[in-house]
Amino acid sequence: MSVGAVNLEAARNHGLSDEEYARILEILGRTPTLPELGIFSVMWSEHCSYKSSKRWLATLPTKGRDVLYGPGENAGVVAIGDGLAAVFKIESHNHPSFVEPHAGAATGVGGILRDIFTMGARPLASLDSIRFGPLEEAHQRFLLRGVVKGIADYGNSFGCATVGGELSFHPGYRNNILVNAMNLGIVEVDRIFLAKASGVGNPLLYLGSRTGRDGIHGASLLASSDFDEASAEMRPTVQIGDPFTENKLLEATLSALQTGAVVGIQDLGAAGLTCSSFEMASNAGTGIEMDLDRVPVREVGMTPYEILLSESQERMLLVVEAGREDEVIALCGRWELACTVVGRITDDGRMRVVSSGEVVVDIPVDPVAASAPVYDRPRAEPAGLRERQQLELGEIPAEKDPGGALLDLLSSPALCSRSWVYEQYDQLVQSSTVLRPGGDAAVMRVPGSARGLAVSTDCNPRYCELDPYRGAQLAVAEAARNVAVTGARPLAVTNCLNFGNPERPEIMWEFVECVRGMADACSALEVPVVSGNVSFYNETRGEGAIPPTPTIGMLGLLAEASDAVGAAFAAVGDTVLLLGETREELGASEYLARRLGWERGRPPVVDLAAERCLQEFLVEAAAGKLLRSAHDLSEGGAAVALSESAISGWIGFEGALPGAGLRVEARLFGESAGRAVISCDPARVEAVLHLAVRHGVPAAVIGRTGGDRIRIDPGVDVGLREAHDLWSGKLSEMLD
C-alpha cells in the first residue's frame, strides 16, 4: 500500500476509524510512524482483535472436565485418555478464496495445520466446510473446482488425511463464498506448548520460509472489510503456500520442541510478524526488541512496513532459552529452513523494532493487543423476518409423486453425493482413518492407542437465516448427533462464525442470536467451545450479506475405535428402527426449497434434553455392539436418510414410517430434529428397544433391509440402482 504522510486520511485508508486514530495519537502522544500505523491497523482489525464479537464470545461455555486449554491459544486442547490430548480448531479463509480460489483455499489449509503443530501436536486429520452460489452458474463451478483443488493439493502434498466436511450451495454465497478449514492433531498432555514470549533476555528465533510481499494487509483490508469492485484486483494480497516446505517446518518445529529449549512458540499467520510477536509478548506480560535486518527475506528492497505486515506462509517464531539458540538453529538447519535470531525478550512491555539501525517502531504492547477497542454494535431484527417465518401447512400442495420427489431430492446439488470432492483428497495417509468421508462423521484411530476420535462439521444456513437462535442450536445438536451415531461421545466444539458486516444492525442481531443459541445448546449438551474464529464482512456492496453461517466443528471420543458404526446398511435382513419423534414440520426444509422454491417457515423445534438422551443411547448401543449401522436424520428427512443408508451399502429397504396422522410430506421429508435411523441383527432388536426405553428415546421398528428397491410407505417405491446413479453422479455431471 503506497502511503505518503501519516495522517487521518492514511489511517482511514488502513481501515481505522477516526475515533481509533485519535486513540492511537493518545496512546503514543505523537504521530505514529508508517510501520506503527500498519501495526495498529492489523492488530485492531476485526480479523485480529474481534472488536465487534469479543463481548459476545465471552458468553460461550468454555470449560469442561476434559478441557485443558480453551479459547485464547492457537487451538483448543482436550484430554482423551492414555496421557494424550486432541488439539483442534476451525478457521476461515473466505475472502482470499473468492479472490484466488486455489491459493486461498490451499493457504487456509496451511494456516490451520500450523495452528495445530505450533502447540506441539502432530496433525492427524483435516476437514473443510465450503459454500458457494448456485452450481448452475459457470463462475461458481470455477470457484468450486479451484477451492477443492487447492485443498487437495496442499493437504495431499503435506501428508495429512482430509476426511470430512460440508459442501452447500445458496444464492447468498454467489459473491462471497465460504472456505472454512479444520484440523485435528494429537499431542502428549505434558508436551503442549503455548504462545508466550517468556524469560527476559531469551532470544526470539525466526524459522521457516523467507518473507516476501505476499499477503500484506490480508487481515486488515481483505478479511476485515466487505467486497467492492476493487476486490477482484486484490490477488497480490493472497498468500502463496508451499506444502512441501510446510511439511519440513512441521518436522523442524516438533524436533525443536522435543529438545526442551523452546519456551514459547507462535506461527506467523494473519498479520505475520506483527500479530505473532504482539500476542506472544502480551500473553507473557513482556516486551520484545526486534531487528528487521535479521529477518530472512526473499525480495530486494523490502521496507520495515512490508516485513512486519507480510503474511508469507510457512513461518514460525520461537522463544528459546538463552544460550541454547545455536542448538535449535543447527537442528532446524537439517530441514534446509531459514532459522535465525531476530530479537530478544525484554521486561518493559514495549515493542521496539529496529531497521538499518533506526528505531521504526516503539509502542506499548498491551494497548495494541490485549486492550484493542471493543464495541457494542447496535442490533435490530432484520426487516421482513417475521413474515418469512410464517408458513401455513395448508398452503403446501399435496405431493402427488413421493417417489419422484425423493429422486429429485437425491439428485439435487444440496443432497447428492459429495464423492466428486472427497475422492480428490488423500483420506488414508498416516493409516489412521477408520470411517472415511461420505457418512455423518469421520472416525480416526488415535496413533499409539485403541481410542478413536470422531469429527464432523455442520451448519444449515437456511435454518440460521430464518431463525438464528434456533438455527445455531440445531447446528450444535446436529454436529453432536453426527459424532454420536458413530458411537463417539461428544467432547467439545470449535466454531467458525461467518457473517456479514457487523456495522449493520441486522447483521449484528443475527450474530448475537446465533451466539446465544450456540451457548445454550453447548451448555445443555455439555460440549464446551474450546477454539474458533469469527469472520465478518462476508458480503459484497450492493448485493447483501451471506446467510448467517455459524459452522460447528464437533469432536467426539470412542473408547475403542473398532466400535465405530457406519451409516451404510451392512447386511441383508437386518431390522431397521427410527429413533426420535417425527413432528409435522416442513418449515425451512430442503423439500420446500427444492420442490417449491420456498425458503419460508421456522426450522424444526429443538429439544436439547431429548438430543442428549439420543446421543447417550447411541454411544452405549455402539459400545455394546448392538448396531450394524446408524445414520442421522437431517436435510431431506427420513426418506433421504434411509435412501442414503441403502445406496451406501448397496442394500435395499422396505418398510413404513410412523405418523399416520401427519402429512405425507412431513413423514417422508420433514426435518424434525433429534432423530436417527439404525439397523441391527433381528436377534438384537429386543435389547435395542430395552436400551431405548432406559434412555427415554422413542424407538419404532420401521422395516428391514434387503432387495434391490427402496420402498417406503407412504408412497415411495424406487429402484436402488436408479437412486444410486442419480445421487452419485450429479456433481460430476455438472463439474466434469
Condensed to tens digits (0 to 9), the pLDDT of residues 374-396 reads 999 999 999 999 999 999 999 99
Q: What is the mean pLDDT of residues 589-602?
A: 97
- Dihedral sign for Cα 336, 341, 345, 348, please: negative
Q: Is the pLDDT of residue 641 over 90?
A: yes
Q: How confident is the model at residue 401 (pLDDT cuts 50, 70, 90)?
A: very high
> For 263-401, where are the alpha helices, taking DSSP H only?
272-284, 304-309, 325-333, 385-389
Q: What is the mean pLDDT of residues 101-124?
A: 96
150 Cβ contact list (under 8 Å, min separation 6): 97, 101, 102, 103, 104, 105, 106, 108, 109
Distance (Å, whole) CA 731 – CA 375: 43
pLDDT in tens, 14-69: 989 999 999 999 999 999 999 999 999 999 999 889 999 999 999 999 999 999 99
The pLDDT value recorded for residue 371 is 80
Over the chain, what is the mean pLDDT?
94
632, 622 contact by CB (below 8 A): no
Q: What is the mean pLDDT of residues 208-217?
A: 84
pLDDT in tens, 660-710: 899 999 999 999 999 999 999 999 999 999 999 999 999 999 999 999 999
- Dihedral sign for Cα 241, 196, 263, 553, please: negative
Q: What is the mean pLDDT of residues 1-23?
A: 85
pLDDT in tens, 268-318: 988 889 989 999 999 999 999 999 999 999 899 999 999 999 989 999 999
Q: Is the pLDDT of residue 543 over 90?
A: no
Q: Is the pLDDT of residue 179 over 70?
A: yes
3-state secondary structure of 509: helix
The pLDDT value recorded for residue 272 is 87
**Is 93 labeled as catalytic in the residue annotation?**
yes
Distances (CA, A) of 641 to 309, 417, 442, 576, 630: 48, 12, 17, 12, 10
> For 583-706, where are the alpha helices, taking DSSP H only?
590-591, 608-623, 637-649, 664-669, 685-695
Distance (Å, whole) CA 463 – CA 96: 26
Q: How confident is the model at residue 227 (pLDDT cuts 50, 70, 90)?
A: low
Q: Is the pLDDT of residue 234 over 50?
A: no
The pLDDT value recorded for residue 544 is 87
Long-range contacts of 151-154 (CB under 8 A, 24+ apart): 151/105, 151/106, 151/108, 151/109, 151/126, 151/181, 151/425, 152/424, 152/425, 152/426, 153/102, 153/106, 153/243, 154/105, 154/106, 154/107, 154/109, 154/110, 154/241, 154/243, 154/246
Distances (CA, A) of 626 to 119, 570, 620, 703: 38, 13, 9, 17
Distance (Å, whole) CA 493 – CA 527: 6
The pLDDT value recorded for residue 2 is 45
Cα 628 to the chain's mean position, in Å?
A: 30
DSSP 3-state percent helix, strand, coil across the chain (nearest 5): 40, 25, 35
The pLDDT value recorded for residue 241 is 85
The pLDDT value recorded for residue 235 is 47
Task: Let me know the angle formed at the C-alpha of 162 by 158 and 163, rounded to the nearest 5 degrees.
Answer: 155
Q: Is the pLDDT of residue 237 over 70?
A: no
Q: Is the pLDDT of residue 218 over 80?
A: no
Task: Let me know the angle formed at the C-alpha of 573 by 569 and 575, rounded to the nearest 5 degrees.
Answer: 70
Catalytic residue chosen out of the listed positions 14, 93, 217, 631? 93
Q: Is the pLDDT of residue 367 over 90?
A: no
Q: Is the pLDDT of residue 711 over 70?
A: yes
Q: How confident is the model at residue 221 (pLDDT cuts 50, 70, 90)?
A: low
What pairing do the DSSP bridges indicate for beta strands 287-291 and 338-346?
Answer: antiparallel
Catalytic residue chosen out of the listed positions 14, 47, 170, 724? 47
pLDDT in tens, 119-175: 999 999 999 999 999 999 999 999 999 999 999 999 999 999 999 999 999 999 999
pLDDT > 70: percent of the chain:
96
Q: How confident is the model at residue 239 (pLDDT cuts 50, 70, 90)?
A: confident
Q: Is the pLDDT of residue 483 over 50?
A: yes
What domains sit in the chain, N to C, each tagged with a CATH number? Answer: 8-44+193-364 (3.90.650.10), 54-192+418-563 (3.30.1330.10), 566-735 (3.90.650.10)
Q: How confident is the model at residue 7 (pLDDT cuts 50, 70, 90)?
A: very high
Question: What residues does 496 pair with on adjacent strands?
Answer: 533, 551
Q: Is the pLDDT of residue 540 over 90?
A: no
Q: What is the mean pLDDT of residues 392-410?
A: 96
What pairing do the DSSP bridges indicate for beta strands 76-81 and 67-69?
Answer: antiparallel
User: Which helix or strand (DSSP H or E) is residue 404 part of?
Assistant: helix 402-410
179, 146 contact by CB (below 8 A): no
Q: How confident is the model at residue 219 (pLDDT cuts 50, 70, 90)?
A: low
